[in-house]
Amino acid sequence: MAISEGEKIPAVTVKNTDMSDVTTDELFGGKKVVLFAVPGAFTPTCSNQHLPGYVENADALKAKGVDEIICLSVNDAFVMGAWGEDRGTGDKIRMVADGNGDLTKALGLEMDGSGIGFGLRCQRFAAIIDDGTVTKLAVEAPGKFEVSAADAILAAL
């Protein structure tokens, strides 16, 4: 069952792009965070729309009280680092690797992409998280890109 608004983010360890461990407590505790997740780095919608929208709107999101913007994908830390560099995320977006899908599974937001050679992946979603509690959750319908876009989350703040 997927996490719901009003629930705390589960305690899980994922990876920064330098391969260091980072806990969900460290990522979300004591601050307001926008987390957006994508099915895969370097995939068309993720690379051409989803991530660039957050890069372009980072200053506007932070002006609304967001302390950090995090991009999550079930990819390894090296891929997430290369993707962030390729897309010019700089210090605007923190790229986080959920290589084993541990956080994705704990959130109940996994999808089976084996039909297209992806294996276990994360559904496309965005969340506003305040001190570890989900205050807004926007999960996309399969094949859609609407409710998790940066402008939709900006409007929800």
* Rg (the chain; Cα; Å): 14
Ramachandran angles phi, psi of 145, nearest 5°: -145, 90
From residue 95, alpha-carbon distances to 75, 114, 140, 144 in Å are 10, 24, 20, 22
Q: How far apart, in whole angstroms, are the C-alpha atoms of residue 39 and residue 74?
A: 7
Q: Is 15 exposed, middle or buried (0-12, 13-18, 19+ CB in 10 A)?
A: buried
Active-site positions read: 46
